[in-house]
Chains A and B, each alone.
Chain A
Amino acid sequence: MQKAERRINYKRRRSIREFLYILPFLILVALFSYFPLYGWIYAFHDYQPPFPISSETFVGFKWFNFIISNPTRVKDILRVLRNTFAMSGISLLFSWFPMIFAVFLNEIRCKPYRKFVQTATTLPNFISWVLVFSIAFNVFSSTGAVNVVLQDLGLISKPIAFLKSSDHVWFRMWLWLTWKNAGWAAIMYLAAIAGIDEQMIEAAKVDGATRMQIIWKITIPSILPTFFVIVMLNIASFLNNGMEQYYVFQNAFNKEYIEVLDLYVYNIATSGTGNYPLSTAISILKSVVSVALLAGANGISKLIRGEGFI
């Protein structure tokens, strides 16, 4: 009897101890993931600084109605969602690009050259978007390098307005993103490639495998798990494709295609004197879409793998 009681005591103490192990992480999650949800109350109030929110400012779902009740505004939000999905989708579709880049980089035999390529492609990752835009302006404006060269060659008579053009905005934004990120994203894959067992590759060489065959049969299959982890992470941040890039590149001519959800929220919150309730309401909408996406991905996972991840 006593023995059993002692065992229960021991068990309880152990569970408390184990709980204490994870407590810091629970606190962190509560602090940084759940506590900010408190900010959602601004979407249900008519909040106007410097006046604090109170029971008098409560307006219920007014701001949600404001969005939904007007067809033009709904269309506007659908347009923004379309852009967000398109640009995230393109990134997702091309997420194999850094992997292939890393594989090819790894195949370069001349070491100094390889180091040079890797450094040159990684550096843009550390340049802010504002600077990227000033580079873009100097290269692509009407008096920029590209137009000057094309005009000197006699290929065009009038400068081409690259930055003003609304054609292929999504693809061009992906190109800038890739220019900035590819080298950095390749680092993970390079690490994964370094982890491949040398013996396997040597054995393949002995068996007479060509370089392409080694890449195709050994390198890529070995780094596929890394690839899938990264794709999963990308899906998780599908709606968070950031706004800095689009903010610096946006203008009246490409706005139709460049405005993503984050940028839209920013534009509404800060244009003029700022409207906090409406932009909070729209960002709640973003969470709703995220949950829908998650449920969708989970459903697909259930269908394919037989189990979901929630």
Chain B
Amino acid sequence: MKRFLSVLLTLALLLGMVSVSAVAEGQEPLTVVVYDAAANFHGIQPGWFGKVVKDRFNIVLDIVAPQVAGQEIYATRAEDGYLGDIILVDKSDFPNLVKTGLVREITDKLPECENIMKFKDQIDHYNKGLTGEDGKYYGIPTEMTDTSPTTLTDNVIYSSPMLRWDLYDAVGKPEIKDLEGLLDVLEEIHKIHPTNEAGDPAYPFSLWPDWDNNDDMSGPANVVQLTTWYGEKPKRSAILKPDGTFAKIYDRDSAYYKIAKFLNHANQRGLVDPDSGTQNWDKAVSKMSALQVDVMWYSWQTGFTNVGENLPAGKTFIYIPVGDQSYYADADAYYGTARMFGVGSKVEGEKYDRIMEFLDWYASPEGLTFQHVGIEGLNYTKNEDGTFTRLHDDALANNLPVPEDYVGEDGVVGYNDGNNQINQWIAGASCINANNGERFASKFWSSTIEKELETDKAKREWQQTFDATDPVDYMKKHNLLNASPSVGFAPPEDSNEIKALRAQINTELCTYTWQAIFAETDEEFEALWDKMIEQLEGFEYEKLYENDVAVYTQEVELKKAALGE
């Protein structure tokens, strides 16, 4: 018995050694600190994505997230001279990091990164703008696309009025001339749909204030985005008109005023959720998912409703044309979105090699499939021709358990829990997957489109009604779309004085716009608007406006050049 035990123990020991050496083969374990302005998670990357990275590179990602830990962490870590090993910051911060030496030059290694260098044109464009020299590299833009600066790949634009098809159908699919006409239709819809099936009150509009003043916006996010329905795009305190000129955001002939007034009229007709000004984003999402809203305006909002049982029932949201509208949309982010990847200045030697290797994988077809699609067997299956078919649409929403081979040492099983917490990609989802010739985003797959037409009742009927394949197709046919080219422009960081002006002006703008939306009468609305203008001018709006116009005129010039005007 004893001998048997000792043999067993020796065997166990040997096996243990074998498995240990399998992990450590070649490379020592390495912890890489990722300073990550995009992350909503602070700490060691958990779960399946953690395991994927660990298995391939023996790297553990330690994510430092200012959005979680507080923006102050930027100042303290910068003072310390070490932000992180991989650095992901806003584009406007990046030049300062280069100037203060917190980011290292990657000229020697970047050209060897085959996958990243597929975007050489874009990377050269950014780094030349940064240093003024050719062939010197510091930053890698995020979410670049492989199309062109003027292409619009998407079949839905970022913001457009979207109604629930079955309800719109039920009120007789009336033609909508303008915003008041839209409210008439919504009023009809509200009459036949005062509650959802569970009996909870439903309102056409349910707004939320959490995002106000975020992402370079001035004012309530829900108002700012809707201005694009009339071709106008707020550039902070200024608003860009379709003809390339600027106006003050509060002007009574700007789309900002028009939309605020529209939401106010909606509220006067009892079409706005009374909790709009006080509920948080989570609450707003739960209402969208529970079909307690009748209109949507962000393209991604449909992700909460256009799924599962809702599709064959036609309880899905889709763009409905409004006669007097013509839309502003950003073309593909060819030159990247608002953030920038870099490598920390304290990264040297072998660590540097391994980090660059990791980043290159991060932009490889395999890496991007993990980021944009997920896990084979859980999120997709491979067809014979190499293309994918979508599985389990709800993996993220319902945090489905991942296959056993993807459960790491930390034992985290949930798909969402273990999802890539870096939360930003080098290549966008509309890029072509070199392994199968289709885009990464599943909505473009032939298998998805085929299935969609089978199940999506609304889409089928919509196509017949409006004689177009998708919303963008309709807009293009009717010449309603102004796709603004990608130029990779990032405004320089504000000076402290401008920051101070902006902080107070944005707050006032939000406060009064919200109050105006909930005004009881038109007179009260106008009075609040007047009061707002007075306050804004008191806080030296003029100075801020001049600053913003000067900054964004540069962008307009670049866009004109890109269009060859």
Identify the A interface with B (CB < 8 A).
Answer: 46-52, 66, 70-73, 75-76, 137, 141-143, 159, 161, 163-164, 251-253, 255-256, 267-268, 270-278
Contact B78 A70 (CB under 8 A): no
Tell me if B310 counts as interface (CB < 8 A to partner A): no
* Minimum CB–CB distance for B68 against chain A, Å: 14
Contact A275 B496 (CB under 8 A): yes
> In the complex, what distance in Å separates the CA atom of A164 from the CA atom of B276?
9
Closest 3 CB pairs of A and B: A72-B538, A50-B78, A252-B514
Contact A163 B278 (CB under 8 A): yes
Contact A49 B511 (CB under 8 A): no
Query: For window 263-300 of chain B, which residues contact chain A by CB distance below 8 Å?
Result: 273-275, 277-279, 283
> In the complex, what distance in Å separates the CA atom of A234 from the CA atom of B270?
45
Contact B74 A50 (CB under 8 A): yes
Contact A164 B96 (CB under 8 A): no
Contact B71 A253 (CB under 8 A): no
Enumerate chain B residues within 8 angstroms of A273, measured Cβ to Cβ.
71, 493-494, 499
Tell me if B503 counts as interface (CB < 8 A to partner A): yes
Q: Which of B200, B493, B510 contacts A48 (CB 8 A)?
A: B493
Tell me if B79 counts as interface (CB < 8 A to partner A): yes
Q: Which of B279, B514, B518 contacts A141 (CB 8 A)?
A: B279
> In the complex, what distance in Å separates the CA atom of A198 from the CA atom of B75?
59
A159-B274 contact given A50-B96, A271-B507, CB 8 Å threshold? yes
Enumerate chain B residues within 8 angstroms of A143, measured Cβ to Cβ.
200-201, 275
A137-B279 contact given A50-B96, A271-B213, CB 8 Å threshold? yes
> In the complex, what distance in Å separates the CA atom of A132 from the CA atom of B512?
27
Interface size of B in residues (CB-CB distance below 8 Å): 47
Contact A51 B96 (CB under 8 A): yes
A270-B71 contact given A49-B78, A72-B535, A142-B273, CB 8 Å threshold? yes
> In the complex, what distance in Å separates the CA atom of A256 from the CA atom of B75?
31
A70-B496 contact given A142-B275, A252-B515, CB 8 Å threshold? no
> In the complex, what distance in Å separates the CA atom of A241 from the CA atom of B539?
27
* Interface of B (DSSP majority class): helix
Contact B97 A164 (CB under 8 A): no
Given contacts A161-B274, A252-B209, A253-B277, 20 further A-B contacts (CB under 8 A): A50-B83, A50-B97, A50-B100, A70-B538, A71-B538, A137-B283, A141-B278, A141-B279, A142-B273, A143-B201, A163-B275, A163-B278, A251-B514, A252-B514, A253-B518, A255-B507, A256-B511, A267-B507, A271-B213, A275-B499
> In the complex, what distance in Å separates the CA atom of A48 from the CA atom of B498?
12
Tell me if B434 counts as interface (CB < 8 A to partner A): no
Query: For window 43-83 of chain B, which residues contact chain A by CB distance below 8 Å?
Result: 71-72, 74-75, 78-79, 83
A277-B496 contact given A142-B274, A164-B518, A251-B277, CB 8 Å threshold? yes
* Minimum CB–CB distance for A61 against chain B, Å: 14
Tell me if B248 counts as interface (CB < 8 A to partner A): no
Closest residue on chain A to residue B510 by CB atoms:
A252
> In the complex, what distance in Å separates the CA atom of A95 from the CA atom of B502?
40
Tell me if B523 counts as interface (CB < 8 A to partner A): no
> In the complex, what distance in Å separates the CA atom of A226 from the CA atom of B74?
45
Enumerate chain A residues within 8 angstroms of B93, measured Cβ to Cβ.
50
Query: For window 493-536 of chain B, which residues contact chain A by CB distance below 8 Å?
Result: 493-497, 499-500, 502-504, 506-507, 510-515, 518, 535
User: What are 7 of the A-B contact pairs (CB < 8 Å)?
Assistant: A46-B495, A73-B538, A161-B275, A252-B511, A253-B278, A271-B506, A274-B75
